[in-house]
Each structure stands twice: as structure tokens, then as C-alpha cells.
């Protein structure tokens, strides 16, 4: 501690400690602790708070699993299905983003030269100057039944009837993948960029076809970047709200939309908190499992 103060001086040291304290306590611990506390309470009227009914309960979690007591169905199939679909769809979006971004990141990091690589990065960043909601609506226009894509396909004579991309969730997956593309490209780019190009050439010289060079040399080297990018995209996809709201089909719900309904229209913060905590835990468990399987440590991801 004394070392730390001596090294950085009193002002900077105090600032750093306060900033870290603020970040950890105010941004991470307190909000989550509040949510956790809420999730174990009943949804009470203001005058009942602190009264005899204000006790801890598991009912909010029970509701997600079994629905209202006395329902016909054994489980709360509606919400559980939405939850599972959100997780699976987020995995799909993550894989899609990886498949799209890996070649781009490799190209910029290892193949393209100086100025050319910089302009490619700029091209990737430019669309993100536009507001997220606006981008989602732009995709609605692109993918709508009377949208640009359908109009084009019909004029070309490829389609007779317009395809409902929104109902088929194509627009949603496309919109989500697009929204988080940078969060995949940059970790991948960083990781691949640090690979000594001679290793790629050495593998090639030893007779390796291109796919094996990637499988045995580039990807193992870029593993922390891959893990970092996939974690970010997965977490944010599962937690996305605007894109599903705007681009989702009429019959498909995202789990975050249910959470939003509990907090907002339902006014039941306790129930909403329980749902949010479940989503958070599911994401954490998923990410930690993936890291375990691919033998990546948290420290490597932060690199």
C-alpha cells in the first residue's frame, strides 16, 4: 500500500483508489445486490412495505418455473421456452458473428498493408456512428415485406411473393449480428495481429493447406481473442432489448422483453429482478463453461 502511494503520488493514488472503489461498489456490487434482494421479496403496495407481509420468498423464481399456482400446465412453458430460445439464438448470433468476423480480422491483421488496413477499420466503425435504434429501424426497412430486399428480389424475378423476413426472425438475427460485429472484430484483430507472420509462412512452407494453418497455428494463438469476442457478443445478444423489440417477429419474444414487461407495464420489480438474475446466472454459467472447455483463463481474455 505504501509502495503504491510512493510510486503514484498522493493525488493520483487517492483518485485511483476512489475510482476503483466507485466502479466496483456503485457499478457492480450495489445494483446487483439490490436486484438480488428484490428478487426474493413479494410485490407489495407501498403501505405494506415493512409490514408483516414483507418477508423473503422464492415465489418469483417458482413463477418462472411453474407459473401461477393452480395453472393447468405443469411448468411455465411460455417463459421457459422464451428463455431457452434466447440463449440458443444468442449462441447462433455469436457463431454467425465469429464466422463473419474471423476472415475480416485475419485479413486486416495479417494480409492488408498499412493504410489499406486502417481504412478497412474505419469502414467498419463508420456505421456505428448511427444510433442503435435508428440502425434497427433501418434494418426493418431493409427486411420488411415491402422493403428493399424483397423489392429487389421481386424485380429480379427471383421471388413471386415477398418473404416475411421479420416473422422468420431473419431480420432479428441479422440485426443482432450487425450490432455486435465490432465487439467481435476488435478482440480477434488484436489477437491475430500479434501473431508473427513467419509462423503462418513456416506452416505453409511445411506443406500445410490454408485451413490447417488456421486450425493449428492462427486459431490457437488467437484463442483468448476468440473467447473474449464470443463472450461479449453472447452476453450482449442475450441482454439485447432494442433489436428484438424492433426487429423481432410478432410471435417471437426475447427474454429481456419479458423482464422489461415485468418492470415497466407489469410494475412488478420483484418478479422482474428474479428473471434478470436468472438470465445473468445463465449467461455466466454458459460463458464459464465455454472457457473451461476451451481452456482459456479470465486473465487471458482481458489481455
Partner 1 sequence: MSADVELDHMTIRFGEFTAVKDANLKIEDGEFFSFLGPSGCGKTTILRAISGFLEPTEGEVRIGGKNMKGIGPNKRPTALIFQNLALFPLMSVADNIAFGLEVRGVGKAERRKRADELLDLIALGDQGNKKVSELSGGQKQRVAIARALAVEPAVLLLDEPLSALDLKLRQHMRTELRAIQQRVGITFIYITHDQGEALTMSDRIAVMSQGIIQQVGTGTEVYENSQTAFVASFVGENNPFHGKVVGTEGSDALVDTAFGRLRGRNVRGMQPGQSAMLFVRPESMSFANGDAENVIESQVLHSEFEGSFFSVFLRGEGAKDIVMSMTNSGDLPQYQEGESARVAFKAERALVLPVGDVADE
Residue listed under C-alpha cell 423464481:
61
Query: Minimum CB separation from partner 1 for residue 206, in Å?
Result: 4
Residue whose CB is less far from partner 1, 103 or 209: 209
Dihedral of alpha carbons 212, 215, 220, 226, sign: positive
Which residues lie across from 41 on neighbouring strands?
56
Question: Hey, what's the torsion of the CAs at 36, 39, 44, 45, to 10 degrees?
Answer: 60
Residue whose CB is less far from partner 1, 212 or 292: 212
* Residue 64: closest CA among 227, 259, 251: 259
C-alpha cell at 16: 485511483
φ, ψ dihedrals at 30, nearest 5°? -60, -50
Residue whose CB is less far from partner 1, 93 or 226: 226
Q: Are 221 and 200 in contact (CB under 8 A)?
A: no
Query: Minimum CB separation from partner 1 for residue 296, in Å?
Result: 13
Query: Minimum CB separation from partner 1 for residue 215, in Å?
Result: 11
Query: Minimum CB separation from partner 1 for residue 221, in Å?
Result: 7
Please tell me the number of Cα atoms within 13 Å of 174 on its side-chain side.
Answer: 20
Residue whose CB is less far from partner 1, 55 or 206: 206
Query: Minimum CB separation from partner 1 for residue 196, in Å?
Result: 6
User: For binding to partner 1 (CB under 8 A), which residues are involved?
Assistant: 196, 198-199, 201-209, 212, 216-217, 220-221
Query: Minimum CB separation from partner 1 for residue 187, in Å?
Result: 18
Dihedral of alpha carbons 283, 288, 294, 297, sign: positive
Q: Cα dist. 228→112, 178, 294 in Å?
A: 23, 17, 12
Residue whose CB is less far from partner 1, 16 or 202: 202
Residue whose CB is less far from partner 1, 72 or 205: 205
Dihedral of alpha carbons 148, 152, 153, 157, sign: positive
Helices (H) and strands (E) in the chain, counts: 17, 0
Query: Minimum CB separation from partner 1 for residue 219, in Å?
Result: 10
Residue whose CB is less far from partner 1, 118 or 216: 216
Amino acid at each position: 500500500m505504501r509502495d503504491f502511494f510512493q510510486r503514484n503520488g498522493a493525488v493520483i493514488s487517492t483518485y485511483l483508489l476512489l475510482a476503483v472503489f466507485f466502479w466496483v461498489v456503485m457499478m457492480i456490487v450495489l445494483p446487483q445486490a439490490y436486484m438480488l434482494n428484490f428478487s426474493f421479496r413479494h410485490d407489495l403496495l407501498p403501505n405494506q412495505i415493512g409490514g408483516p407481509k414483507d418477508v423473503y420468498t422464492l415465489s418469483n423464481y417458482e413463477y418462472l418455473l411453474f407459473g401461477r399456482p393452480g395453472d393447468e400446465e405443469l411448468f411455465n412453458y411460455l417463459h421457459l421456452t422464451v428463455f431457452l430460445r434466447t440463449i440458443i439464438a444468442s449462441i447462433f448470433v455469436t457463431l454467425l458473428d465469429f464466422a463473419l468476423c474471423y476472415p475480416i480480422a485475419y485479413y486486416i491483421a495479417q494480409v492488408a498493408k498499412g493504410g489499406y488496413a486502417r481504412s478497412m477499420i474505419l469502414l467498419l466503425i463508420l456505421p456505428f456512428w448511427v444510433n442503435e435504434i435508428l440502425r434497427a429501424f433501418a434494418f426493418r426497412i431493409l427486411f420488411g415485406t415491402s422493403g428493399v430486399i424483397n423489392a429487389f428480389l421481386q424485380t429480379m424475378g427471383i421471388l413471386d411473393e415477398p418473404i416475411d423476413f421479420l416473422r422468420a426472425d431473419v431480420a432479428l438475427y441479422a440485426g443482432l449480428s450487425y450490432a455486435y460485429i465490432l465487439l467481435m472484430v476488435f478482440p480477434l484483430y488484436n489477437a491475430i495481429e500479434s501473431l508473427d507472420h513467419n509462423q503462418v509462412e513456416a506452416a505453409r512452407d511445411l506443406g500445410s493447406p490454408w485451413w490447417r494453418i488456421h486450425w493449428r497455428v492462427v486459431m490457437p494463438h488467437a484463442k483468448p481473442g476468440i473467447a473474449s469476442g464470443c463472450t461479449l457478443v453472447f452476453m450482449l445478444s442475450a441482454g439485447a432489448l432494442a433489436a428484438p423489440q424492433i426487429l423481432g417477429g410478432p410471435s417471437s419474444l426475447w427474454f429481456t422483453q419479458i423482464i422489461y414487461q415485468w418492470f415497466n407495464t407489469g410494475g412488478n420489480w420483484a418478479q422482474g429482478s428474479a428473471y434478470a438474475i436468472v438470465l445473468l446466472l445463465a449467461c455466466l454459467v454458459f460463458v464459464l463453461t465455454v472457457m473451461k472447455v476451451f481452456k482459456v483463463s479470465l486473465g487471458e481474455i482481458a489481455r
